[in-house]
Amino acid sequence: MGILHGGWLVAKILKREGVEVVFTLSGGHVAGIYDGCLREGIRVVDTRHEQAAVHAAEGWARVTRKPGVALLTGGPGVTDGITGVANAYLAGSPVLVIGMLSGKPGPAFLEMPMDILANFADTDESFDPGEPANYRYQGRTAPDPAMVEQAVALLSKAQRPVIMAGTAVWWCDAAEPLRQLAERLNAPVYLNGAGRGCLPPTHPLFFSHSRRKALEGSDTILAIGTRMDFRLNHGQPPLIPAEANVIWLDMAAEDVGVNRGAQAALVGDVGLSMGQLTKGAQQLVAGEWLEYIREQERKGYERDSAALNSDAVPIHPMRFCREIRDFIDEDTTVVGDGGDIVSYAGRVINVSKPGYWLDAGPMGTLGTGTGFAMAAQLARPGQRVLMVYGDGSFGLNGMEFESMVRQKLPIVAIIGNDGAWGQIKHPQKAIIGHTTAAELTPGIRYDKVVEALGGYGELVERAEDIRPALERAFASGLPACVNVLIDPDKPYSRSTNVAV
């Protein structure tokens, strides 16, 4: 290869690793890598804040199952990106900040001094590690056979099984093993995190409105790549029965048994684990338990019916989300960035394919949406990317609409604008009778902000105008903001301690 500078050598290794795009905010320390990327045909996407660059790298990992790469300049460039690294860490997303592909994914930080990147090396005399297969194990890890036998024994006694499937199902590309296991057990399936879409909403064992009743009544819970955190009442009664058997499948041993013990733990690739359970378990018949779940699901939809069909002004958040649900197709990537509005969206909107729902994950970081959406649009050119946005979240990385305009990424954001940090405001009022630092200016024209940055914008005040506005926004071919004024007095109910 001859004499190359350090930045070019970095880019050559990135190219060898299959990296197609890197995310960054312009910085002199990493300029050599920029030059190398251009020479190697790697696209350089620059943002307006390093946090957004790392979020975009995580978004790339989430939609492609390949490591996302962020290039951060020294000093404040690195510190600005730390929130993105923390979010990727808790979500288990492989991100390289200048991940790992075996075992449990996660972010890695690689520091490269400027003199190394700027100076030259004779590649004919330098060590070449070769192709990635030469230096990194890429096989899948199977669970302990004894644990599989223990889990199969528990399933043989199960009368009321429930499957909770989460993010690890996506990372292990295990949608098909999930379907096969669910059908072998005739168990209702509930999805969260990146697990959404791993069983299509048309499948007869897919459920979403009966989760509380299912978990409270279960005798056997299969927790597959999901955390027993606040979303599942930390694995404790009354949501999770004390006497229920928990069969826990996850990619890393340290994630099993957190907050709630497990009667059987299968550590390794969850697709392999589910496949072995399906092979070992007996076929369970659909009986009274599944009939009960279907009845609870029907009642759940009935309880939501009035809100879903409300014509009220300001717009009810449930009607807001129903209009989105009815608008999207199976190839639309939905990105959630907000508090209450994303909880409502998760309750109403279902996606049909794995990897087509992106939210912040366990850390709940606001501001992830623009980066995630940019990555999704880059990975899926020609497909729609729709960001469901809170007005509070817009304030964190809303300037990235200018990045979208420059990069020609026609992402559409729809804002549920309630003029508040709703997830904070409503509990404050309920508990202490007043709010502090939880109000925003009502009716801010975020659509005008996006227009000023070179995009398309519309303000919507009536429910029946949401769909036509979305159609015009996508037809514009520009990054767009549909700014919808929703009822500020409709908090998302969390009385069950279960949030989506």
Arithmetic mean of pLDDT, 234-239: 95
**How sure is the predictor about 1, in pLDDT bands with cuts at 50, 70 and 90?**
low
| pLDDT at residue 496 tops 80 | no
**Strand partners of residue 414:** 388, 482
| pLDDT at residue 125 tops 90 | no
**Strand partners of residue 24:** 46, 71
For tokens 């005040």, the residue is 461
List pLDDT tens digits, range 359-368: 999 999 999 9
Arithmetic mean of pLDDT, 175-192: 98
| pLDDT at residue 219 tops 90 | yes
List pLDDT tens digits, range 32-67: 999 999 999 999 999 999 999 999 999 999 999 999
Answer with the residue of higher pLDDT: 231 or 52: 52
In terms of residues, how long is the chain? 500
| pLDDT at residue 100 tops 80 | no
| pLDDT at residue 432 tops 80 | yes
Q: How far apart are CA 245 and CA 182, in angstroms?
A: 17
Q: How far apart are CA 466 and CA 461, in angstroms?
A: 8
List pLDDT tens digits, range 9-40: 999 999 999 999 999 999 988 999 999 999 99
pLDDT at site 497: 35
pTM: 0.94
Q: How far apart are CA 474 and CA 477, in angstroms?
A: 6
Q: How far apart are CA 341 and CA 422, in angstroms?
A: 8
pLDDT at site 326: 98
Instruction: Show the domains of the chain with their CATH numbers.
Output: 3-134 (3.40.50.970), 145-292 (3.40.50.1220), 309-485 (3.40.50.970)
Minimal CA–CA distance to 215: which of 239, 235, 247, 231? 239
Arithmetic mean of pLDDT, 68-77: 92
Give the tokens for residue 274: 């589910």
A 10 A CB-CB count for 451 gives 17
List pLDDT tens digits, range 303-346: 999 999 999 999 999 999 999 999 999 999 999 999 999 999 99
pLDDT at site 74: 86
As a three-state string, the secondary structure of the chain is: CCEEEHHHHHHHHHHHCCCCEEEECCCHHHHHHHHHHHHHCCEEEECCCHHHHHHHHHHHHHHHCCCEEEECCCCHHHHHCHHHHHHHHHHCCCEEECCCCCCCCCCEECCCCHHHHHCEEECCCCCCCCCHHHCCCCCCCCCCHHHHHHHHHHHHHCCCEEEEECHHHHHCCCHHHHHHHHHHHCCCEEECHHHCCCCCCCCCCECCCCHHHHHHHCCEEEEECCCCCHHHHHHCCCCCCCCCEEEEEECCHHHCCCCCCCCEEEECCHHHHHHHHHHHCCCCCCCHHHHHHHHHHHHHHHHHHHHHCCCCCCECHHHHHHHHHHHCCCCCEEEEECCHHHHHHHHHCCCCCCCCEECCCCCCCCCCHHHHHHHHHHHCCCCCEEEEEEHHHHHHHCCHHHHHHHHCCCCEEEEEECCECHHHHHHHHHHHCCCCCCECCCCCCHHHHHHHCCCEEEEECCHHHHHHHHHHHHHCCCCEEEEEEECCCCCCCCCCCCCC
**How sure is the predictor about 499, in pLDDT bands with cuts at 50, 70 and 90?**
very low
State how beta strands 456-460 and 412-417 pair: unpaired
pLDDT at site 132: 87
**Strand partners of residue 389:** 337, 415
Asked if residues 58 and 371 have their Cβ atoms less than 8 Å apart, the reply is yes
| pLDDT at residue 297 tops 80 | yes
| pLDDT at residue 113 tops 70 | yes
**Strand partners of residue 249:** 224, 266
Q: How far apart are CA 72 and CA 175, in angstroms?
A: 35
List pLDDT tens digits, range 154-167: 999 999 999 999 99
Asked if residues 221 and 240 have their Cβ atoms less than 8 Å apart, the reply is yes
List pLDDT tens digits, range 189-210: 999 999 999 999 999 999 999 9
Q: What are phi and psi of 114, to 5 degrees?
A: -65, -35
Q: How far apart are CA 34 and CA 389, in angstroms?
A: 32
| pLDDT at residue 500 tops 70 | no
pLDDT at site 179: 98
**How sure is the predictor about 103, in pLDDT bands with cuts at 50, 70 and 90?**
low
Q: How far apart are CA 230 and CA 211, in angstroms?
A: 14
Arithmetic mean of pLDDT, 421-434: 92
